[in-house]
Structure 1
Amino acid sequence: MNALLSSRPVLWFLFLFNLVVAALAPFAVDGTQGLLTSVGMGAVSLGAGVSLLRGHAQRA
């Protein structure tokens, strides 16, 4: 499972999908739930982005 989650296509999907959901969640869901959804999805997106950058630095 770890090999699947660290593959570049999966990381790109996690990064982009969660970034879009984080940006749109406050508009789709009102109140605290929208804010917390945005923060949670943003954290997942940030983690995937950092993993992408780490993988790029190791290959160079």
Structure 2
Amino acid sequence: MKSLLANKPALWFLFLFNLVVALLASVAVDGAQGVMTGVGMGVVSVGAGVALLAGRGQRA
């Protein structure tokens, strides 16, 4: 699992896919379920984005 999360294409996929799902879920699903789905997927997207930015500084 660690090697998968260190892979840049996998991080880009997690970032973009979860960002799109978070935006769509908050619009398409009514009530608390839509809000919580959007928040949960947004957190995963932000985590992947932070990992991408952290990996930028480690280039040699």
- TM range, normalised to the smaller chain? over 0.9
Question: What is the Cα deviation at residue 58 of structure 1?
Answer: 1.1
Instruction: Tell me the TM-score normalised to structure 1 length.
Output: 0.93
The residue correspondences of 1:1-60 to structure 2 (distance < 5 A) are 1-59=1-59
- Give percent identity, aligned residues only: 68
For 1:20-44, what per-residue CA distance to the aligned partner results, in whole angstroms no more than 9, with x for missing partners? 0111112211100000000000000
Structure 1: where are the runs of 5+ without partners?
A: none
Distance in 2, matches of 1:6 and 1:29, equals 32
Q: Which runs of 4+ in 1 moved over 4 A?
A: none
Instruction: Tell me the TM-score normalised to structure 2 length.
Output: 0.93
User: C-alpha root-mean-square deviation of aligned residues, in Å?
Assistant: 1.0
Question: What is the Cα deviation at residue 5 of structure 1?
Answer: 1.8
